[in-house]
Amino acid sequence: MFMLEAAVRVAIREGVESCARYSGGRAFEGHLACSKKIAWGSTKSAVRLQKRLALLGAAISAFLSGPAFAQVQLPAVNLGQTSFEDGFAAPGWFLEETPTYYDANTLKDSKGNTIPGSNHLRISSTTTHIAYLSEMRVMGGRLAFEALQPWVDVSAGVPGGASSTARGLADLIVGIGVQWAPEKIGPGVFAHRFMLDVGMPTGQYSDRQPVNTGNNFVVVNPYYAMTYEVDKWEVSTRLHYLWSAVNNDPFIGLGAISVQPGQAFHMNYAISYEVTSGIRVGFNGYWLKQLTDNKLNGNSIENSRESIVGLGVGVQVLLGENTWLHLNGYKETDARNRAEGTSVILRLSKAIPSSRTSP
């Protein structure tokens, strides 16, 4: 049978992934994860919903490379949510809200071919991010902490009129890491940070619901961010590795004991130029490549690996003292086993620098 929870996640992950930024004038951006939910009503409404979901599942399943394709999908990750000056940070608090909109009318199979029909996916999401860079020294840098709470509203549909909607809080993400002070290298300045982010299964989840706001498994997603800045130019990248635990309580319609998404590598990259004081514009992109197969009852699912490339432009504006507005847009290409669309990400961030900062 078909697992709609994962089917919707095929396309959902782009817009929901939100992240953040922590700084004393620079960037410190985090990562996000999220999913979705459909509530069950009375017994009669549940039966009607099951029939509707069966239609949606059958349609998508027929489109894809194999009957097991949509049963397991990667959780939502940070794709394009961090960009300019990502490696910089300064001691103190950082608060950020990140509204995101994602729109896709195309689904791709394992070979990159477009699945025919009027497929669609619309996602509106926002992520609240709180970060703190302490004065505590560790490994030559300062100890950093962060927490992110995403919320998502999604609508997905396939040919034949079948569609699903869901909204609610997703899993809480917490992180700990080290931010190193900027150092002079050649003609420019290099700044970098390592964070270990973990998605906790705190979102709402029920094995009787085909779509949930929670993953029901732990997600480990460490990253290394770095920036090299010369005069008004800067180049930034963030390298992630994704590992997901086993879900031992999957949707009952799947008829499985356990499911587990595969491991993956993903990265964000950007280059920008300060056109005038407080305004920076540039190019931003992301790339995801799944490295191992998804698993169903411990067995690998062939042709289930995902990949995607996103390309776009962005602007960063200093609105006032320690307050920034960021706007990034992306157009996706070269998708495998997932939706391919466009996204717009708006971030409003506020830094509260530490009253005292040791050298």
In a domain, 84, yes or no: yes
Dihedral of the alpha carbons of 194, 277, 327, 90, in degrees to the nearest 10: 20
Average confidence score pLDDT of the chain: 81
Ramachandran sector of residue 354 (left: φ over 0; alpha: ψ -120 to 50; beta: rest): beta
Question: Which residue range forms the structural domain that includes residue 86?
Answer: 4-351
Structure tokens, 95: 């608060």
Banded pLDDT at 356 (limits 50, 70, 90)? low
In a domain, 62, yes or no: yes
The whole-angstrom distance between residue 294's C-alpha and the CA centroid of its chain comes to 18
Stretch 293-319: mean pLDDT: 96
Stretch 71-93: mean pLDDT: 90
DSSP for residue 217:
S
Structure tokens, 31: 């990562």
In a domain, 121, yes or no: yes
Contact criterion met (CB below 8 Å) for 240 and 287: no
CATH number of the domain within which 170 lies: 2.40.128.130
Strands 264-276 and 233-244 turn out to be antiparallel
Distance in angstroms (rounded) separating the CA atoms of residues 269 and 264: 17
Q: Which of 263, 271, 306 is nearest to 287 (CA)?
A: 306
The helix (H) or strand (E) run that includes residue 43 is: helix 43-63
In a domain, 65, yes or no: yes
pLDDT of residue 241: 98
In a domain, 357, yes or no: no
pTM of the model: 0.80
3-class DSSP assignment, residue 318 = strand
Distance in angstroms (rounded) separating the CA atoms of residues 238 and 226: 6
Banded pLDDT at 142 (limits 50, 70, 90)? very high
In a domain, 359, yes or no: no
List, in sequence order, every residue forming a beta bridge with 165; answer none if it has no partner: 155
Distance in angstroms (rounded) separating the CA atoms of residues 291 and 144: 29
Task: Please give the residue that has the higher pLDDT: either 314 or 57.
Answer: 314
Segment among 39-43, 127-131, 268-272, 315-319 with least mean pLDDT: 39-43
Distance in angstroms (rounded) separating the CA atoms of residues 107 and 102: 14
In a domain, 358, yes or no: no
Percent of the residues in the chain that have a pLDDT greater than 90, as a whole number: 64
In a domain, 94, yes or no: yes
What confidence tens digit (pLDDT) does each residue in 230-261 have? Answer: 999 999 999 999 999 999 999 888 889 999 99
What confidence tens digit (pLDDT) does each residue in 101-113 have? Answer: 999 999 999 999 9
pLDDT of residue 205: 86
Distance in angstroms (rounded) separating the CA atoms of residues 189 and 178: 18
Reported residue count of the chain is: 359
The helix (H) or strand (E) run that includes residue 63 is: helix 43-63
Overall domain count for the chain: 1
Banded pLDDT at 16 (limits 50, 70, 90)? very low
Instruction: With a cut of 60, say whether residue 197 has pLDDT above it.
Output: yes
